[in-house]
Amino acid sequence: MSITQGLNNAISGLTASARMAEAVSSNIANAMTEGYGRRQVDLSVGMLGGVQVDGVSRKVDQGVISQRRLSDAEVGAGTTLANMQAQLEKLISGTESGAGIADRLSRLEAAMITAAGDPASEVEQANLLRNLSGTAQAFNTASKGVQTLRVQADGQIASQIDQLNTSLRQVEKLNADILRMRNAGQDVSGLLDERQRVVDRISSIVPVRELDRQGGKIALMTTAGEVLIDGRAQQYVFTPAPVITADMTLGSGALSGITRADGTMTAADGIRRLSGGSLGAAFAMRDEVLVGAQAGLDSLAGDLVLRFQDPTVDPTLAPGDAGLFTDAGLAFDILDTEGISGRIAINAAVDPSQGGNLWRLRDGLNAAAPGPSGDATQLNRARLALADSRTIAGFGPAASAQGLASTLLSRIGTDRLAAEDELAFSTARWSSLHQAELAGGVDTDHEMQMLIRIEQSYAANAKLVQTIESMVRTLMEI
């Protein structure tokens, strides 16, 4: 080996050692950075001998990342469903408002029993009126709360569509930057890290699969077949509703679904092939779960109105007259039950603040004059009507008004537990996949060992340069 060849070997070795030390230090510094891919310097034998640096490779397990991203979508969906199911249960149970519907109905029955025990007492009649009003208000509050949750879900959809559009535009730009820098022979590892982080954000909104394209570019497609980006990024349009009422649904056209910016995407469920992540879960809450909860509340409220407008319960009523509970002051209309839980109210005839009289609770809504103060017949009929076992479609066996309300609460609680169980399973699976991803990433122990080897290599090459310099100096002195 000539002196020139030896010097070339040493200098190339020093250069390779410097690049490797830079890669190792970057690996150690970013060992806990999400989306960071381990750097590895690629070396080969140079044409004139020595070591040639061919570039820097980014080492990731794309198979594990792909599975983890699908798990991201499951966790995103599970989190959305579990959180909103918990809010719904608190709303119906009354833990946030002070008293739920089932509790109010139980208190109402107790107030009826007490009033029937002392029918002449205006104090007990006033207490009964408060419980009647409290029961109606509990329905009103629950119905309003359900619609508030629907507005919340609608807002989540709008927010996630904005985030999805922004992230897709970022992927498009990163694709172009990666292609340009690769063609220029530059290191694109940093851009690949950033693109992975952006795709990870997308994967919690919709489940995606990454497809390789020429020049380091990628395409993204949902598991249901929607192409999010393949060249140009797709953009989506959604119009949130500032206010949602019980009668507003996607099917009626009152609520927005998702369309492509070019107007080509429409679907009966509003989401089509973007389901599976937190976006799909928000749609499910807005258009299915919460609509079902509202329907349950309306069934309970309608049943309560019907129980007391029956002339056999209050003989002073004529067919078609409103009973003790009304639909915003009117009798029950089977063709207008949607949203009745938000409109249910006590009959003004028994409310002194509305020009009514407390004695009508004892003597009947349409009684011409007060009857015997000790007659509890009407109060007992009302109590029996409340306790009467009746059936409602979808509520199982016949039960009292309080029992039917408990059935609804139990069903919502069961759904909440199921959502939490599913979230726990998805989270455990995600954690395992995330650990597998980290295991294939930066191992700091290995990197420290590499750093020692690099230091030894650098020292050896530096010693060779020093030796060659000494040899040349000796030759020059001869």
CB neighbour list of residue 157: distance below 8 Å, 6 or more residues apart: 238, 240, 258, 279, 282, 283, 286
User: Tokens 């017949």 appear where?
Assistant: 377
pLDDT at residue 96 in the model: 60
**Domain match, 52 and 87 both:** no
In a domain, 258, yes or no: yes
Across the range 460-469, mean pLDDT stands at 76
pLDDT at residue 2 in the model: 73
pLDDT at residue 470 in the model: 78
- How far is the C-alpha of 150 from the C-alpha of 364, rounded, in Å? 40
**Domain match, 26 and 72 both:** no
CB neighbour list of residue 361: distance below 8 Å, 6 or more residues apart: 115, 125, 128, 129, 324, 350, 378, 379, 382
pLDDT at residue 239 in the model: 93
The answer to whether the CB of 106 falls within 8 A of the CB of 307 is: no
In a domain, 379, yes or no: yes
**Domain match, 166 and 259 both:** yes
**Domain match, 314 and 388 both:** yes
In a domain, 437, yes or no: no
| Residue with the larger pLDDT of the pair 212 and 22 | 212
In a domain, 442, yes or no: no
Q: Which of 38, 39, 41 is nearest to 52 (CA)?
A: 41
* Percentage of residues in the chain having pLDDT higher than 90: 65
**pLDDT of 171 higher than 90:** yes
**Domain match, 412 and 313 both:** yes
**Domain match, 10 and 114 both:** no
Reported confidence tier of residue 155, pLDDT bands at 50, 70, 90: very high
**pLDDT of 333 higher than 70:** yes
| Residue with the larger pLDDT of the pair 30 and 219 | 219
In a domain, 268, yes or no: yes
- How far is the C-alpha of 16 from the C-alpha of 53, rounded, in Å? 6
**Domain match, 468 and 383 both:** no
Q: Alpha helix (H) ranges present in 184-289?
A: 189-205, 278-284
The answer to whether the CB of 398 falls within 8 A of the CB of 389 is: yes
pLDDT at residue 131 in the model: 96
pLDDT at residue 268 in the model: 64
- How far is the C-alpha of 131 from the C-alpha of 111, rounded, in Å? 7
Q: Which of 204, 200, 193, 197 is nearest to 78 (CA)?
A: 204
In a domain, 435, yes or no: no
Reported confidence tier of residue 266, pLDDT bands at 50, 70, 90: low
In a domain, 305, yes or no: yes
Name the average pLDDT for the chain. 89
Q: Return the half-sphere exposure (C-beta side, CA atoms, 13 A cut-off) of residue 254.
A: 13
Residue 46: CB atoms within 10 A of its CB come to 14
Backbone angles phi, psi at 322, to 5 degrees: -75, 145
**Cα 22-28-31 angle, rounded to 5 deg:** 135
Structure-token pair, residue 121: 């007492």
**Domain match, 31 and 71 both:** no
**Domain match, 327 and 374 both:** yes
**pLDDT of 80 higher than 80:** yes
pLDDT at residue 187 in the model: 85
Buried b (16+ CB within 10 A) or exposed e, 394-405: ebeeebbbbbbb
pLDDT at residue 98 in the model: 62
- How far is the C-alpha of 186 from the C-alpha of 230, rounded, in Å? 24
Buried b (16+ CB within 10 A) or exposed e, 54-88: eebebebeeebbebbbbbbbbbbbbbbbbbbbebb
**Domain match, 415 and 468 both:** no
Across the range 433-451, mean pLDDT stands at 76
In a domain, 439, yes or no: no
Lowest mean pLDDT among 88-97, 204-213, 286-295: 88-97
Total number of domains constituting the chain: 2
Q: What is the dihedral of CA 104, 105, 108, 109, to 10 degrees?
A: -150
Structure pTM?
A: 0.86
3 state DSSP class of 236: strand
Buried b (16+ CB within 10 A) or exposed e, 159-192: ebbebbbebbebbbebbebbbeebeeeeebbebb
**Domain match, 323 and 458 both:** no
CB neighbour list of residue 348: distance below 8 Å, 6 or more residues apart: 329, 354, 355, 356
Q: What is the pLDDT of residues 38-48, one digit of tens each?
A: 777 777 777 76
Residue ranges making up the domain that contains 471: 3-60+452-477
**Domain match, 397 and 463 both:** no
The answer to whether the CB of 300 falls within 8 A of the CB of 405 is: yes
User: Tokens 């249960």 appear where?
Assistant: 89
> What sign for the dihedral angle of Cα 224, 215, 37, 35?
negative
The answer to whether the CB of 115 falls within 8 A of the CB of 277 is: no
pLDDT at residue 3 in the model: 73
Q: Which of 134, 100, 129 is nearest to 115 (CA)?
A: 129
The answer to whether the CB of 209 falls within 8 A of the CB of 73 is: no
